[in-house]
Amino acid sequence: MTTIACIGECMIELSQGTGSQLIRSYGGDTLNTAIYLARLGVSVDYITALGDDPFSDEMIDSWKAEGVGTGRVVRVKGKLPGLYAIRTNDEGERSFYYWRDNAAARMLLDLPETDALLAALSDYDMIYLSGITLSLYSADGRQRLLDALKRVRKGKTRVAFDTNFRTQGWPVLDIARQVYREMFDIADIVLASTDDLTPLFGARMQGELIDRIGAREVVLKLATPASVVRYDGLDTTVKAEPVDRVVDTTAAGDSFSAAYLAARLRGMTPPESARAGHRLAGAVIGHRGAIIPPAAMPRDGLASVIAMEQSP
C-alpha cells in the first residue's frame, strides 16, 4: 500500500538560461515534496489532472523515473498543464509569473473521476496538500475535498497541510482565511511559516501565530533559520545548521516538508523530524532549481539525513 498521497499541480517551468535563452523544466510545490519523499524511501502517489499532450506525457515519465506513483493522475482530453516563468536575483530569490487559469489541474475536483478519486484517499496512511493546492479549485470543488479529508480522518488516514500561501492565488483574502481556518481544524500536522501566516493574519508574535492553528502537531518555520515545533502543547525551538552558500531558495520549504514527514513516518519525534527537514532544505538551497541532482542527495536517503543530524 502506498503511504502518502500528495495532491496538487505540476506546471511547465521556464527559467533563464544563457543570454536570452529559456530552459524548460517542470515544477510545483507538492510535486517537489513528492519527489523528495520518494528519494527518501517513502512510497508516494501524486494526485493531479493533466492534459493529453506531449508535455503531460513527459511529466508522467519523469515522475515514474523518480519513483512517484502516477496511477491517480487524471488525463483530461484537450487540456494542457499550467505554465510559469521564473526570474532569480543575485541573492538566489525568485519571482514567479503564471499562466495557469485554464490548466487541467484546476479541473481535478469537477470531473467524472472525482468521486472515485476522493473515495480512494482512505487507502493512504497520509494525505499531503498545501495552500496552493486549495487555491486551484472552485469553491464547490474545494469543499468536496475538505469534506473528503474530514471523512478519511475518521479512519487511519492522517492529513498533513503545508500553509504555502501565495497572494495571487487568493484574490479575496477573507476567503483564504476561512479556508485556512477550516484546514487547520482538519489537519493532524500543519507545516507553517511566518512568511505564509503574516500576510494572512497580520503581523503577530510567533506564539500568537501558532495559537491560531488547532492541530495537535504544528511546525512554524521562522524568518531566522529555525523552527518552533508544537506537539501536544509543548513548544520546542529547533535551529538549522548554517549553510556555506545559498544558491537558490526554491523548494526549501517543500524539501523540509518531505524530510519532516518521512522522519515522522519512520517514528522520529517532531523535533528530530524538524532537524531532518532543516538538513535536507540546507542541501537543496545550495543548488539551482527545485529538484537537486540525485547525486547531491544524502547518500543513504533519510537514514543519512537523520544520522547527520544526530552526529556531533
Structure confidence by residue, pLDDT tens digits, 41-54: 999 999 999 999 99
pLDDT at 213: 92
pLDDT at 149: 98
89 vs 64: CA distance, rounded Å = 32
Provide the 10 A C-beta neighbour count for residue 14. 16
pLDDT at 93: 66
Condensed to tens digits (0 to 9), the pLDDT of residues 119-163 reads 999 999 999 999 999 999 999 999 999 999 999 999 999 999 999
pLDDT at 294: 86
Mind listing the domains of the chain with CATH numbers?
4-310 (3.40.1190.20)
51 vs 54: CA distance, rounded Å = 9
307 vs 309: CA distance, rounded Å = 5
Residues of the chain short of pLDDT 70, as ranges, are: 1-2, 91-94, 248-249, 299-312
Q: How far is CA 235 from CA 2, 5, 50, 75, 267, in A?
A: 31, 28, 41, 44, 19
User: Which residues are within 8 A (CB) of 23 and not within 5 positions of it... i.e. 6 or more apart?
Assistant: 14, 15, 16, 17
Is 282 within 8 Å of 240 (Cβ atoms)? Answer: yes
pLDDT at 300: 57
Relative to beta strand 4-7, strand 44-47 is parallel
Active-site residues: which are they? 254
pLDDT at 312: 35
Main-chain dihedrals φ then ψ at residue 91, nearest 5 degrees: -90, 0
Residue 15, helix vs strand vs coil: strand
3 exposure class (CB count in 10 Å sphere: 0-12, 13-18, 19+): middle
